[in-house]
Structure 1
C-alpha cells in the first residue's frame, strides 16, 4: 500500500464527517477542535504510528505552519470586528488583550519561577501561555461582521491582540536564557523596541490595508478591472503586511490584525452602520455579482465580505490542519505531558491565573457580573501557545523543552473544558440577557 494512502483516507473521512455531522456536533458538548485533536493523537506515534512526529527534526516546519495559521486567523478576526474605533466597546478587548495579558504573564512567571524553573524559562513559559487563541475560538467569536455582543466582541478582539502583545515578553525570556535578540541590549533599547513594535505594527497594518482598498476599488469602479479573486487579494494583503512588519521589526501578528480591522473599518465608513453587510448583499443575484463589485455604492461591502468569506474558509482548514499536527505532537510527547510539574502549570493557568488576570483587568469596566465570569473562564489556549513553544525551542533548543509539555497540557485541557462548556454557558448568558431586556 502506498504510504500516502492512509493519510488521504483519514483526511477525507474527517472532513466529510465534520461537514455532514455539523448539526449533531453543535448540539453535543463537542467541537471540531476536539475531533481533530483526538484524530491527530490516534494517527501519531503513540497509537497507530502513521506519523512519526520527530520534533527535533521538524521544529522549524512546525513553527512556520503554526505561524501561517495564526496570520490567517488574526486577519479574519480583524475583518469581523465591524465597530467604529471610537466606540467604547473597544475598551473591553483592549483591557483583555493588554492588561489581562500583562497580569497573566506576571502571575504565570511568578508561579513558574516559584516552582523551580530558571527565570528565563519561566518568563518565556508565561509569555507562551498568556495569549488566548484566535484559531480555536469559533464558538466564542462574533458570528458575523456587525455583531456587537460585548462577550463575543471582547473575546474576539482579545484573541486578535494578545498573540502579538506576548512577543516582547517571549523575547525577553529568550534573552534571559542567553539567546541574543534585537532590542534586548539594554532597558532603553527594549522600551523603544516595544513602543515601535506596537505603533509600527498598527501603522503598517492600517496603511497597507487602506492603500489596498483604495487601489482595488479605484480599478473596479473606474475601469471595471480587478474584479474577482478576492481571496487572492486577501492572501496578498496578509502576506505583504506580515512581511513588511517583520522587515520593520514591528510586531507582525498585531500588524495583520490591524490590517483586518482597518479594511473592515473602511467598509464601515463607506456604507454606514444602519445595515449589516449580509443585509446589504442578501438580494444580490448570481448574475449581478460583477455589477455589484463595480458599483461605487456597494463595492466596499462586496470586497470586504468577499475577503471575509474566503479567509473564514481558509481559517477552517488551518484549524483542521493545525489540530491534527498538534495531536500528532501530543501523541509523541504524552509521557512528558504527564509529569506533575507540567500538569500543575497548565491547571494553574486555566483555573487560577486566567480568572485572576481577567478580574483584575476588568476593574472599572462596563460589564456585569455574568459577563466578567464568562470572560474569566473562556480563555481558550491553542495554536498561539503551540507556536510560541515550538518557536522557542527553535531559538533556544532544549533549554525551553519544559515549555512544550506545559503548553500541550494547556491546549488539551482548554480544548476539552472550554469546548464542552462554551455552548451551554453562552446559551444561558443569552437566555438571561433576553429575560432582563
Structure 2
C-alpha cells in the first residue's frame, strides 16, 4: 500500500467512526470489529495488498502498543471511584492477582499438555494471554469518573492492575527459556520481579499522582489564578512515572495506573477540604475554562480535564493497532491449535479463574458470571509478545506464539465485541427492573 492508500483508508475509517457514532452505539458491533474487518480485507487473509510482519516490525509494534496501553491505564486509574476502601477494592484485587495467577497456570498447563510447548514458553504464553485489556474493553469499563457501577468498576480496576501483574509471569517464562536472570531456585525472580518491582511501582505511582494533585491545585487555586495545560500535565505525569519506574526496575504499567488513581483521589480530597463535593467536580464540563465558569461552579481538575484528551488518543490507537492486527493475520494462522486455545481461554480458563478469585467476596453470582465471560484480550497481549520477541525469543518459537496470540485476540474482539452490548443491556435492564420493584 502506498502512502496515499494509507491516508485514504485511515481517513475513511475515521470519518465513518466519527459520523456514525450514534448508529454504532445502537448496532451489535463495536468499533474494533469494524477496524479489524478493514484490516482483514486489505491484509493477507483477503486482498493481500498489505502485510505487517509482527516479527520483523516487533520493535515498532512494541513502542506503539506500549504507548496505547499507558494512555489507557492512566485513563482507567482516573475513572476509579474514591475514597479508596479495601471493601470496595477487594474484588478487583482478587481478580488482578488470584484470578490472574490461576489463568496463567491453566494456560500454561494447556500449552504443555495440548500444544506441546516447552515449560518456559507455556508460562510466557500464560503471561501474554492472561491479562485483560484496558484498550479494547471500553464497553465494559467505567464510563466516566464517579461511575459507581460495581461490574464496570471491577473490570476496569482489574484491567488497570493486571497489566502490571502479568509482567512477573512474562519474566519467569523468559527466565526458564534462558533469556532472563531469575536466580537460584527463582529467588531473584521472587525478590526483584515480583516483590520489589510491584511494590516500588505502586509507591512511585501513588507518590507521583498525589504530588501532581497538590501541585496542580496549588498553582491553579480555587479562583483559577493560574492556567494549567491539563493535557500536557497528564501526559507528562504518565511519562515521568513510567520512566522512573523503568530506571528502578519497577513495573511501569502498574505505576501509571496508580498515578491516575492517586491524582484523582488527591484532587477530590483537596476539593472536599475546600467544601466542594465530588458530585460537583464530576458534573463539571470537562472542557470548562475560567472564562466560562459560572458563579459557584467548581474549577476543573487535571484528572477530569486530561481524561477527554486521553480518550481521543485511545480511539486513535485502537483504530491504528486493530487495523494492523488485521494486516498481520494470514489464513495459515487458523488451525486447531490456535482456535482450541481461544476456546479454552474464553470458556474454561477465564470463567474458572474468576470464580476462584471472587470466591468469598460480596459480588453477586450474576456479576461473577458476566466478569467470567468478558475477559477481553487485546493490545496489552500484543505488547507482551513483542517485548518477549525483542528479548531474544527464538524465531520458530516466536512465530508459533505470534500465531496463537493473534488468533486469540482476533476471536476475542469478535466474540466479546458481538456479545457485550446485548448481555450488558440485559444485565442492566434486569437491575433497573429489580430496583423499580
Which one of the candidate residues 363, 379, 383 is aligned to 1:383? Answer: 379
Matches within 5 A, 1:153-192: 153-181=153-181, 183-184=182-183, 186-192=185-191
What is the rounded CA distance, in whole Å, between the counterparts of 2:171 and 2:363 in structure 1? 33
Q: Which of 361, 366, 390 does residue 362 from structure 2 map onto?
A: 366
Alpha-carbon contact 1:393-1:401 (below 8 Å) kept: no
Does 2:139 correspond to 1:135? no
Provide the rounded CA distance (Å) in 1 between the counterparts of 2:125 and 2:200: 26
Gaps of 5+ in 2: none
1:122–1:59 distance in 2 versus 1, CA, 3 Å = same
Of 325, 344, 347, 1:348 maps to 344
Secondary structure at the residue paired with 1:388? helix
| Counterpart for residue 232 of structure 1 | 232
Q: How does 1:9-408 map to 2 (within 5 A)?
A: 9-86=8-85, 88-115=87-114, 116-181=116-181, 183-184=182-183, 186-193=185-192, 194-221=194-221, 227-272=227-272, 275=279, 277-281=281-285, 287-288=291-292, 298-299=298-299, 301-330=300-329, 333-335=330-332, 337-395=333-391, 396-398=393-395, 399-408=397-406
Q: Is the 8 A contact 2:97 2:162 kept in 1?
A: yes
Distance 2:202 2:282 in 1: 27
C-alpha separation in 1, matches of 2:425 and 2:185? 50
What TM-score, normalized by structure 2, do the two folds share? 0.92
Question: Which residue matches 2:434?
Answer: 436
Q: Distance in 1 between matches of 2:147 and 2:50?
A: 41
Q: Deviations over 1:383-422 (max 9, x none)?
A: 1111112222222132333221111111111111111111
CA distance in 1, matches of 2:133, 2:183: 27
In the alignment, the residues of structure 2 paired with residue 202 and residue 149 of structure 1 have an alpha-carbon distance, to the nearest angstrom, of 25
1:177 deviation in Å? 1.1
1:326 offset after TM fit, Å? 1.4
Tell me, in whole angstroms, the C-alpha distance in 2 between the residues paired with 1:184 and 1:28: 52
Q: Contact 2:224–2:290 (CA<8 Å) still a contact in 1?
A: no
Return the offset for 1:256: 0.6
Aligned-pair distance for 1:212? Answer: 1.9
Q: Which one is further off, 141-150 or 53-62? A: 53-62
Runs ≥4 residues deviating over 6 A: 222-225
CA change 1:341–1:19 in 2 (3 A) is same
Alpha-carbon shift at residue 274 of structure 1 (Å): 5.1
C-alpha displacement at 1:281, in angstroms?
Answer: 4.5
Q: After superposition, what is the alpha-carbon deviation per residue over 1:144-173, rounded to whole angstroms, capped at 9, x for unaligned?
A: 111111100000001101111011111010
Instruction: Indicate if the aligned counterparts of 2:287 and 2:305 stay in contact, CA closer than 8 A.
Output: no
Q: Is the 8 A contact 2:206 2:258 kept in 1?
A: yes
- 2: CA distance, partners of 1:106 / 1:3: 44
- Segments of 5+ residues of structure 1 without an aligned counterpart are none
The alignment partner of 1:128 has SS state of: helix
CA shift, 1:223, in A, is 10
Name the stretch that deviates more: 27-36 or 80-89.
80-89
Inter-CA distance 407–219: structure 2 relative to 1 (3 Å threshold)? same
The answer to whether the Cα contact below 8 Å between 2:286 and 2:304 also exists between their aligned partners in 1 is: no
CA distance in 1, matches of 2:221, 2:423: 46
Distance in structure 2 (CA, Å) of the matches to 1:64 and 1:26: 31
Does the 8 Å contact 1:71/1:256 carry over to 2? yes
- C-alpha contact 1:45 1:53 (8 A) present in aligned 2: no
Determine the C-alpha separation between the residues in 1 that align with 2:183 and 2:40: 38
